[in-house]
Structure 1
Amino acid sequence: MDSNITNQQIQRGLKNRHIQMIALGGAIGTGLFYGSATVVKTAGPAITLSYLIGGIIIFFIMRALGEMAVDCPVSGSFSQYAYQYWGELPGFIAGWNYWFNYVVVGMAELSVVGTYMNYWYPDIPTWVTALACLVVVTFINTVNVKAYGELEFWFAIIKVLAIIGMIVFGVAMIVFGIGNSGQPVGISNLWEHGGFFPNGVLGVVMSLVLVMFSFGGVELVGITAGEAENPNKTIPQAINQVVWRILLFYIGAMGVILAIFPWNEIEATGSPFVQIFSHVGIPSAANLLNFVVLTAALSAYNSALYSNGRMLYGLAVQGNAPKFFGRLNSAGAPIIAILFSTAFTLLAVLISYLDPEKVFLYFMALATISIIINWATILIVQLKFRKHKEKTGEPILFKMPLHPISSYISLVFLAVVVVIMAFIPDLRFSLYIAPIWLLTLYIGFKLKTAAKN
């Protein structure tokens, strides 16, 4: 199969700054701004260590994907690589599972939009806000990719500047007492309330599931490869820069938050960022941060829908999805693939109506197990890709560090995260759904093969 086929019509309009911000937009969303409240309850101040461990594994996964994306920059990314280096069935499963993952991620992002709006307008039902946002973001995704990239760039800039501003303000509180009547807060909150490991090492281990969910989205760099203006240059830059920036934002932001506010007083629902500034008596800052976390959720949903449309388009070009999903509008956007993905995301609106309290947790559990399947696929395919390159003697332009040990360590880590999920009641149900989903994909592949023959 010609690996360049997926690029014949998709526009190459994304610059390096667009690609970096798309990846940041996908990864800095509800996981940090909303889900981190639950993670803090699990690990306490030691959550910063959890983010560091998770970040190292993410770096290896990103470099594994980058090694292949620089060699073959296609829209559809690792589904295409799985198809090429592992086989038709893995390629089929990888593509559809990635699509499923970002439908669920989109649902998770939409499900919390209403929570943020309720901070200002408590009488508006969460499902109404979710529906309104779904319509607006879907419209945005039907315009040309450069406009999308520009919008996502500014969406992400808001988040990044807000986090930097919050870190600077937090450090000012810690050192100079600004916002605390001139009394320096110090950093004793990091160990005064039960120690740095208030729930022991087990708390850190259990928190890894939510931490890995938070990092979901960084692999969007690979999805954008087919629309990058200069992939040989922009993909390596984006991958290397995005990883350390995310680590800085997660560890820096959470470190500051837990230094200025006791971890055991953070509520499990709502954004801890907003909670803290409300508690310390800075309502204007709390209002501003609520706007930021609302923007973050919209940005992450925007990135999710973008990747869904491109993955479904790639599947159609491969012959692994109906051909009409490969249809582009006059702006070069995969319109039918986007609208189909949106139709599935409407389920989030329905579940937000039926069970608004636990809706985020449901989607987070499903998103975590599906993203782990995606990441494991990337690592396995990279191992096969490298063997193929060694056999043919072809050069590798962007090598994964510590190969192959880094790939094996990352695969073991992902297996451990799945085992941890089995011990968390609210997340365990996703382990029952995953085999059913994979079996459904296997049957779908067999039906497709039978129809072709």
Structure 2
Amino acid sequence: MIAIGGAIGTGLFMGSAFAFAIGYAGPSVLLSYAIGAFITLLLMGCLAEMTVAHSTSGSFGAYAEYYVSPMVGFLVRYAYWAAIVLAVGTEVTAIALYMKYWFPDVPAWIWILSFSSALVALNSVSVKTFGQVEYLFSAIKLAAIAAFILLAVWLVFGSSSGEYGLHHYTDHGGFMPHGFSGMWVAVIISIFSYLSVVLIAVAAGEAEDPERAVRQAFRATIVRLVVFYLLTLALMLAIVPWDEAGKTQSPFVTVMQYIGIPGATGVMNFVILVAALSAMNSQLYITTRMMFSLSRAGQAPAGLGRLTRTGIPLNALLLSCLGIAVATVLSVFYPEESFSLMMAISMFGAIFTWLMIFVTHLFFRRYYARKQQALTFKLPLYPYGTLIGLVLMALVLVTAVFTEAFRMTLLFGAPFLVLLTIG
């Protein structure tokens, strides 16, 4: 549920708006998210295998340090920390946009600071409190998405009006209105959508029984993500023409307005707000643990590795609020572009980290082969699955470099990586 909480946030509810995924790919966004889900499946398999064999709260950052080299571990930890810190800013920027539905005249920065303060306070209490609240958040949005799916299925397949249906996939410029390139660019956004799935591996370090937790979460999360992302997008595109879905607001709210059920748009906007809060809550957790891990490894100031009486790395949590500060500044100076800017600059660390997880898995397997130690959980089809994931992520990174909307990804990421390497 915690992994779902991180993964089903603005990536699903908002990432497909603002001429992003649906705008690039049209109905073929379904292929984009299917490719993203396939990469995620391969990545989860690698992480599950390493987590069962070597459970630690440092997760893939610690694995990169141990199995590849200390410098690679340093780069992975800081790159992912920066990505999630900025993703926190993305979520809270989206929260401010959702609140405009009810309060159109209130400045975005007020909502950013208000909701951020509440979630930081929640994360500073105890990990048990975080887990309980995150479970509740996730349950609310999963129930809402399930209800949305049932309603949409009835409209698409049970309605006799002909207004809704699969004909929308081809009626407005074809299934791939912008060709293969448009579909492939949308894969980048699908990676952003699935970004926090790796939270499973980090949270497992604080679970009572890491092996059982990871095995169950690995199987359940992939099934749920495929169902909730692919099925939801498929139904949404069958109800609303792709070129009308989410130009100025969440595509889910657009669907509810299209259907015309009284009060439904307000309810859906509330659910979307909860989804963003849930994802932000998860991301605050993971970025705090990553900075804590850096400190304990001697790669960040020692004070960031100190724990409160309840086991919370409070100093690391406060530092991880940098993304909220960036989001606040952008919302004041660039209110219209703040969401797209936050997404673009957060993407580099995410893509680099996923790429390096596949590399780390190759080193991990070589280490265990050399030691001749048996693994209790194995990724099928090794090494082909790992190599396929590595190649696909390399292609995603190259695509981001040559795509105008993600130019900030390179402008931010390349100098940042150079600075980390010097560091």
TM over 0.5: yes
What residue number does 1:369 align with?
348
2:303–2:315 Cα contact (<8 Å) kept: yes
2:61–2:73 Cα contact (<8 Å) kept: yes
What residue number does 2:382 align with?
403
Shift of 1:162: 1.1
What TM-score do the two structures reach when normalised by structure 1?
A: 0.90
Tell which deviates more after alignment, 148-157 or 434-443: 434-443
Q: Which of 42, 61, 67 matches 1:85?
A: 67
Shift of 1:283: 4.2
What residue number does 1:300 align with?
279
1:34–1:269 Cα contact (<8 Å) kept: no
Pairing 1:34–2:3 present: no
What is the alpha-carbon distance in structure 2 between the residues aligned to residue 336 and residue 211 of structure 1? Answer: 32
What do the CA deviations read for 1:311-354 (whole angstroms, capped 9, x no partner)?
A: 11111111111111111111111111101112453221111111
Give the gaps of 5 or more residues in structure 1: 1-20, 445-453
Shift of 1:54: 1.1
Q: Which of 275, 279, 300 matches 1:321?
A: 300
SS in 1 for 2:350: helix
What is the alpha-carbon distance in structure 1 between the residues aligned to residue 78 and residue 157 of structure 2? Answer: 50
Q: Which of 1, 6, 23 matches 2:3?
A: 23
Pairing 1:358–2:329 present: no
1:44–1:264 Cα contact (<8 Å) kept: yes
Shift of 1:195: 2.1
SS in 1 for 2:263: helix
Report the identity percentage.
38
2:200–2:217 Cα contact (<8 Å) kept: yes
Pairing 1:231–2:231 present: no
1:32–1:214 Cα contact (<8 Å) kept: yes
1:173–1:184 Cα contact (<8 Å) kept: no
Q: Which of 166, 180, 198 matches 1:219?
A: 198
The amino acid that maps onto 2:206 is E
What do the CA deviations read for 1:335-384 (whole angstroms, capped 9, x no partner)?
A: 11101112453221111111111111111112222111111111111100
What is the alpha-carbon distance in structure 2 between the residues aligned to residue 343 and residue 369 of structure 1? Answer: 17
SS in 2 for 1:120: coil
What is the alpha-carbon distance in structure 1 between the residues aligned to residue 414 and residue 384 of structure 2? Answer: 28
2:87–2:346 Cα contact (<8 Å) kept: yes
The amino acid that maps onto 2:64 is A
Give the gaps of 5 or more residues in structure 2: none
Q: Which of 41, 46, 58 matches 1:59?
A: 41
1:182-261 aligned within 5 A? 185-261=164-240
2:85–2:322 Cα contact (<8 Å) kept: no
What residue number does 2:405 align with?
426
What is the alpha-carbon distance in structure 1 between the residues aligned to residue 386 and residue 311 of structure 2? Answer: 36
The amino acid that maps onto 1:379 is F
Q: Which of 413, 416, 434 matches 2:395?
A: 416
What do the CA deviations read for 1:252-309 (whole angstroms, capped 9, x no partner)?
A: 1001111111112224331000012113322411111100111111111111110011
What residue number does 2:96 align with?
114
The amino acid that maps onto 1:354 is F
What residue number does 1:153 align with?
135
Shift of 1:183: 6.4
What is the alpha-carbon distance in structure 2 between the residues aligned to residue 289 and residue 431 of structure 1? Answer: 35
What residue number does 2:27 align with?
45
Shift of 1:421: 1.4
1:24–1:246 Cα contact (<8 Å) kept: yes
SS in 2 for 1:388: helix
Shift of 1:424: 2.0
What is the alpha-carbon distance in structure 2 between the residues aligned to residue 302 and residue 356 of structure 1? Answer: 23
SS in 2 for 1:395: coil
Q: Which of 137, 154, 161 matches 2:119?
A: 137
1:171–1:256 Cα contact (<8 Å) kept: yes
What is the alpha-carbon distance in structure 2 between the residues aligned to residue 423 and residue 383 of structure 1? Answer: 28
What do the CA deviations read for 1:23-53 (whole angstroms, capped 9, x no partner)?
A: 1111111111011122111111111111111
2:349–2:413 Cα contact (<8 Å) kept: yes
What is the alpha-carbon distance in structure 2 between the residues aligned to residue 206 and residue 430 of structure 1? Answer: 13
Pairs aligned (count):
421
Q: Give the direction of change, closer, same or farther, for the CA distance of 1:344–1:173 in structure 2 (3 Å limit).
A: closer
Q: Which of 306, 330, 342 matches 2:309?
A: 330
1:305–1:338 Cα contact (<8 Å) kept: yes
Tell which deviates more after alignment, 225-234 or 200-209: 200-209
Shift of 1:442: 1.7
What is the alpha-carbon distance in structure 2 between the residues aligned to residue 398 and residue 97 of structure 1? Answer: 28
What is the alpha-carbon distance in structure 1 between the residues aligned to residue 394 and residue 65 of structure 2? Answer: 23
What do the CA deviations read for 1:154-178 (whole angstroms, capped 9, x no partner)?
A: 111111111111010001111233x
Shift of 1:206: 1.9
What residue number does 1:97 align with?
79
What residue number does 1:288 align with?
267
Report the aligned-residue RMSD.
1.4
Q: Give the direction of change, closer, same or farther, for the CA distance of 1:344–1:254 in structure 2 (3 Å limit).
A: closer
Pairing 1:441–2:420 present: yes
Tell which deviates more after alignment, 195-204 or 66-75: 195-204
Shift of 1:139: 0.3
The amino acid that maps onto 2:58 is G
What TM-score do the two structures reach when normalised by structure 2?
A: 0.97
What is the alpha-carbon distance in structure 2 between the residues aligned to residue 267 and residue 168 of structure 1? Answer: 21
What is the alpha-carbon distance in structure 2 between the residues aligned to residue 106 and residue 185 of structure 1? Answer: 36
What is the alpha-carbon distance in structure 2 between the residues aligned to residue 30 and residue 365 of structure 1? Answer: 14
